[in-house]
Amino acid sequence: MGSNSTHWVIIVFAILFGLGLIYTIVWMVIASVSPETIITREQYFIAQDVKRHFRFLIERGYEVSHLKYVPHHYAGWHFQLDSPDQKISIMLDQQERPLLAFGTDKTDKQHQIFLDAMIYHLTEGKVFRGYSYDSISTSRNHVFKNIAKLLKTYINQIERYSRDDFEKPKNELSKIQEQYGNLLVQDFEQQLKARRY
């Protein structure tokens, strides 16, 4: 009786392995014949993940203004959520730390700041996340879930920051970013020293 059930378990695993292998081969063929199919498929799944994790922002009127997938080992997903008043953009990229952009010119570095640096500033230095950004190898679902949790906690403060006489605060962004960058360097150096001892 025991050998009979073992026999069926082996058959089931062989079937699942075979199906997985066939699925992989089919997608490799499709990718080589029609790479845009893979891109379209990935963009669809990214959009579904964005809707699931960032629903609270979409319900507040935020819109996905940019969604991209680049099928390269060091590329991946990128998307941008814009606030209803167009004063805030939340930019998420697989290769970068989450970024906020304020004002109308989202490409101007003086109007951009990492989400972690903004949280540090808004909490008056009480919340320092350091090198807590999820690594590239972490699943998209995990990364989205963690960033959504942060944004749920701080989005009201971030929106207030953008409303309160933004001409003055936008000049602060590069200073805040620089201060946070210095703290990151110090934190990294301390971690290195701790590993040596």
Average pLDDT of the chain, as a whole number:
83
- What pLDDT, in 10s, does the model give residues 125-166? 888 887 655 445 578 889 999 999 999 999 999 998 887 656
* Alpha-carbon radius of gyration of the chain: 22
pLDDT confidence of residue 161: 86
Q: What percent of the chain has pLDDT over 90?
A: 33
Distance (Å, whole) CA 188 – CA 147: 22
pLDDT confidence of residue 9: 84
Report pTM: 0.75
pLDDT confidence of residue 31: 65
Distances (CA, A) of 67 to 46, 101, 144, 187: 8, 16, 14, 33
pLDDT confidence of residue 56: 97
Strand partners, 78: 68, 93
**Within 10 A of 35 (CB to CB), how many other CB atoms are there?**
11
Exposed e or buried b per residue across 165-193, where buried means at least 16 C-beta atoms within 10 angstroms of its C-beta: eeeebbeebeebbeebeebbeeeeeeeee
pLDDT at 109 over 90: no
Distance (Å, whole) CA 102 – CA 91: 11
pLDDT at 83 over 70: yes
pLDDT confidence of residue 167: 61
Is residue 145 packed enough to be buried (19+ CB in 10 Å), middle (13-18) or exposed (0-12)?
middle
Planar angle of CA 48, 54, 60, nearest 5 degrees:
120
Q: 126 vs 3, which has greater pLDDT?
A: 126
pLDDT at 107 over 80: no
Task: Give the residue from 50, 42, 41, 66 showing the smallest Cα distance to 143.
Answer: 50
Mean pLDDT of all residues in 92-104: 86
pLDDT confidence of residue 162: 81
Which residue type is seen at 36?
Answer: E
Distance (Å, whole) CA 14 – CA 176: 57
